[in-house]
């Protein structure tokens, strides 16, 4: 159930401990080490995605004014790059969830003594692990004061966790339409290039 918490490494005792007790037996230092490792992995993934995004934009610019055959060829190349970007983005999102989970556990451990004096501690220690996991990847407790941490935890534990929805790939159709708009003068090149980027999504998840 918690296999997604570990990437490219042997299982750690910290995760075995979490399975037995969501908070009480975890050590802050081990959590902080995992937090740093995940942050470094996320930054590497971000750089790889940005590099592919630049390559995709270059291919797109080559299509402006080209003949239909050239556009078709470029569209296939862009779709191939886009598939690679999407795979790396999925990995990025998974790592980001892991990071949020661990980072929020660090905050909870720091406030453990205070939390034990509230009814909320009983809720944390008795909530099913799946719900606890879902709650902590959907909140950001970093930098918050104790009262704000309590408010955030109360809010997120009451939230309904929505499933991520995917849409059908219509990349080629969108590319041809965008090129046509640029060539007709109804869209400028910069705006057209902007339709290719997923940088906005990554910025919204800035760590």
pLDDT by residue for the chain (207 residues), tens digit each?
A: 344 444 444 444 555 666 665 677 788 888 899 899 999 999 999 999 999 999 999 999 999 999 999 999 999 999 999 999 999 999 999 899 889 989 999 999 999 999 888 888 887 877 777 777 778 888 888 888 998 988 888 877 765 333 333 334 566 777 888 888 888 888 888 888 777 766 555 555 555
**DSSP letters for the chain:** --GGG--SS---HHHHHHHH-SSTT--HHHHHHHHHHHHHHHHHHHHHHHHHHHHHHHHHHHHTT--HHHHHHHHHHHHHHHHHHHHHHHHHHHHHHHHHHHHHHHHHHHTHHHHTTSTHHHHHHHS-HHHHHHHHTT---TT--HHHHHHHHHHHHTS--PPPP-----HHHHHHHHHHHHHHTSS-HHHHHHTT--HHHHHHT--
């Amino acid at each position: 159930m918690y296999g997604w918490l570990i990437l490219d490494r042997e299982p750690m005792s910290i995760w075995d401990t979490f399975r037995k007790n969501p908070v009480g037996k975890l050590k802050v230092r081990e959590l902080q080490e995992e937090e740093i490792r995940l942050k470094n992995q996320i930054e590497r993934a971000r750089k790889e995605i940005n590099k592919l995004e630049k390559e995709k934009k270059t291919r797109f610019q080559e299509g402006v004014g080209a003949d239909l055959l050239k556009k078709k060829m470029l569209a296939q190349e862009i779709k191939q790059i886009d598939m690679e970007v999407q795979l790396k983005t999925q990995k990025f999102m998974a790592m980001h969830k892991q990071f949020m989970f661990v980072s929020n556990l660090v905050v909870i451990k720091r406030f453990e003594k205070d939390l034990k004096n509230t009814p909320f501690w009983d809720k944390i220690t008795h909530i099913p692990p799946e719900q606890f996991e879902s709650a902590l990847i959907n909140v950001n407790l970093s930098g918050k004061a104790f009262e704000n941490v309590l408010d955030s935890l109360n809010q997120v534990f009451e939230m309904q966790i929505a499933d991520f929805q995917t849409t059908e790939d219509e990349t080629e159709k969108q590319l041809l339409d965008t090129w046509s708009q640029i060539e007709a003068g109804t869209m400028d090149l910069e705006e057209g290039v902007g339709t290719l980027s997923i940088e906005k999504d990554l910025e919204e998840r800035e760590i």
